[in-house]
Amino acid sequence: MGRRRPGTPTLEEVAARAGVGRGTVSRVINNAAGVKESTRRAVQQAIAELGYVPNLAARSLAGRRADAVALVMTEPDWRQFAEPFFSEIVSALGDAVADTGLQLLLTLVRSDAERLRFLEYARGGRVDGVLLMSVHADDPLPDMLAEARMPTVLLGRRSAEEYVSYVDADNVGGARTAVGHLLDQGRSAIATITGPADMYVAQCRLRGYHEALELAGLGGKPSWVAEGDFTEESGRRAMARLIERHPEIDGVLAASDTTAAGALQALRAAGRRVPEDVAVIGFDDFPLARRTAPPLTTVRQPLEEIGRAMVRLLLEEMEEPSVAWRHVILRTELVLRESA
């Protein structure tokens, strides 16, 4: 992006004139939803009075704007794309991008060769920004995009030290609340089925599980933790192993709703009643959670809000690439149904 001419009004000056934040000005410029009409008029008046020309518009006039953003899915296992999470978050992001007038391009990146190919595609000016999802701990693509100065926002993060902009849910707090609910019900032998160990989201949900038990003075037994991969089949297998080794288990936190659905199958096959014998809680609150038998108590992620926040951060980075990265963590909510 070229430098502004001396004396050219800045985004900050427009924000100050309108009495709003820089992000609000960016949303008005990009015609995003969620801005009050009175605020929108104030920003538009400030733009007119100052003669401000948005950088994105200047890029478009110069023929260097693609008017498109890429949604990149980095999951190497094709089977994962059948899981509800992908369709739900793609829908949420698609709705959020639709309000901006930009084109959303869906891209799959699963290997080093595909990473390099996508990097060259993005650097070639074919997209203005990148939304990344399903990123594992050792994935270098966010670093490659950052080095290329490509505006990028992650869904979740690779570690606690993530420096690329991201939007995440409070996975630790959500898991802690779920296990606390099981403890309040009088459950004392509580197991968990995790997600993949190389994904920070799974690590956070496992940490919340341990924190809740430690706060109650119980402490989780290592053998009460079974690793899954967020799929239904992994939940079924893990639950079968857990109840075979520890028949005293009376509560389970599964790292996703699909994992919990598999756990319910294994419990039913073993003759265990839910919730009478074993209470089960999932994570996500997909439509699936209302169709299981019994309907699933779960931790709701605000997927629509996550989608809007990711697109908002990306638009801000596209407008002002020099600003520092941003980190947003959104609250979760425990939704009570019959399984716990």
The answer to the question of residue 33 being in a domain is: yes
My answer on whether 180 and 277 are in the same domain is yes
My answer on whether 120 and 156 are in the same domain is yes
Q: Given the structure tokens 């427009």, which residue do they identify? A: 14
Spatial contact of 291 and 312, defined as CB atoms under 8 Å apart: no
Q: What is the pLDDT of residue 64?
A: 60
Specify the CATH number for the domain of residue 244: 3.40.50.2300
Q: Which two tokens stand for residue 33?
A: 């939803």
The answer to the question of residue 335 being in a domain is: no
Q: What is the pLDDT of residue 46?
A: 84
Q: What is the pLDDT of residue 62?
A: 45
pLDDT tens string for the chain (340 positions)? 333 334 567 777 888 888 988 778 877 776 666 678 888 888 888 887 777 765 544 444 444 677 899 999 887 665 556 667 778 888 888 888 887 888 999 898 988 899 999 988 888 888 999 999 888 888 899 999 988 889 999 999 999 989 899 999 999 999 999 999 999 999 999 999 999 999 999 999 999 999 999 999 887 677 799 999 999 999 999 999 999 999 999 999 999 999 999 999 999 999 999 999 999 999 999 999 999 999 999 999 998 899 989 999 998 888 876 666 789 999 999 999 999 9
Q: What is the pLDDT of residue 34?
A: 66
The answer to the question of residue 3 being in a domain is: no
The answer to the question of residue 338 being in a domain is: no
My answer on whether 178 and 295 are in the same domain is yes
The answer to the question of residue 35 being in a domain is: yes
Q: What is the pLDDT of residue 61?
A: 45
My answer on whether 292 and 312 are in the same domain is no
- Bond before 275 cis per omega within 30 degrees: yes
The answer to the question of residue 1 being in a domain is: no
Q: Given the structure tokens 């967020």, which residue do they identify? A: 230
Q: Given the structure tokens 């991201």, which residue do they identify? A: 166
Domain total of the chain: 3
My answer on whether 179 and 193 are in the same domain is yes
Q: What is the pLDDT of residue 57?
A: 47
My answer on whether 155 and 92 are in the same domain is yes
Global model pTM greater than 0.85: no
My answer on whether 187 and 296 are in the same domain is yes
Q: What is the pLDDT of residues 290-325, one digit of tens each?
A: 999 999 999 999 988 999 899 999 988 888 766 667
CA–CA separation, 265 and 245 (whole Å): 17
Structural domain boundaries enclosing 44: 11-61
Q: What is the pLDDT of residues 109-137, one digit of tens each?
A: 988 899 999 988 888 888 999 999 888 88
The answer to the question of residue 138 being in a domain is: yes
